[in-house]
Amino acid sequence: MRSALIVVDMQNAFINPVRGRPVERAHEVVDEVNALVRDARRDGSPVFFTRDVGPTELPPDDPDGETDLFAGLDAHGVVVDKGPGKSGGFSGFVLTSVSDTVGGGPGDGGLSRLAEHLRRGGVDHVVVVGLAADVCVAATARDARRLGYGRHRCAPSHSVRPRASGRR
């Protein structure tokens, strides 16, 4: 069995945003994810990082680097674009269309490059971690199961995004 680690959306928009609030426990999650990345690399398992191309409404060309992976992340692995989350593209396996001629919403795109990377790497088991557990991590784990990746799990290093009311 070949395992891969999928690290979901460890980006500035969720950990150190210029606007809005970070995901709860985000900096703790970074430390936990970095430990898992080191373990995966030591064991020879491939590591993939998803990057939401449009997690929120951002100024044109993202001048603040909100979509960049967080600088404190041990980002040794392949970065795969996904999303945009603001349009319902939550799973790391999905890249919705952002074209003006196509609707730009869920179902308008196709698979991201993640599935191709896993297939080429002979991966049959995935561990999914990252931000946020109740949205993108969960969607990625569900799609991994649907695509046949056995015994997937979400490791404990994830958090939930605070709701606007501040309650969970």
Residue 152 lies in a domain: yes
Residue 136 lies in a domain: yes
Residue 52 lies in a domain: yes
**E-only strand ranges, the chain:** 3-8, 47-52, 78-82, 94-95, 110-111, 125-130, 150-158
CATH number, domain containing residue 112: 3.40.50.850
Q: Could you give the number of structural domains in the chain?
A: 1
Q: Tell me the per-residue pLDDT of 54-97, one tens digit each, with 9 for 90 and over.
A: 887 888 889 999 999 999 999 999 999 998 888 778 899 987 75
Taking the model in full, what pTM does it have? 0.85
| Cβ-Cβ contacts under 8 Å for 146 (sequence gap 6 or more) | none
Residue 164 lies in a domain: no
Domain of residue 105, residue span: 3-158
Comparing CA positions, the residue from 20, 21, 39 lying closest to residue 77 is 39
Residue 87 lies in a domain: yes
Q: Tell me the per-residue pLDDT of 114-138, one tens digit each, with 9 for 90 and over.
A: 999 999 999 999 999 998 888 888 8
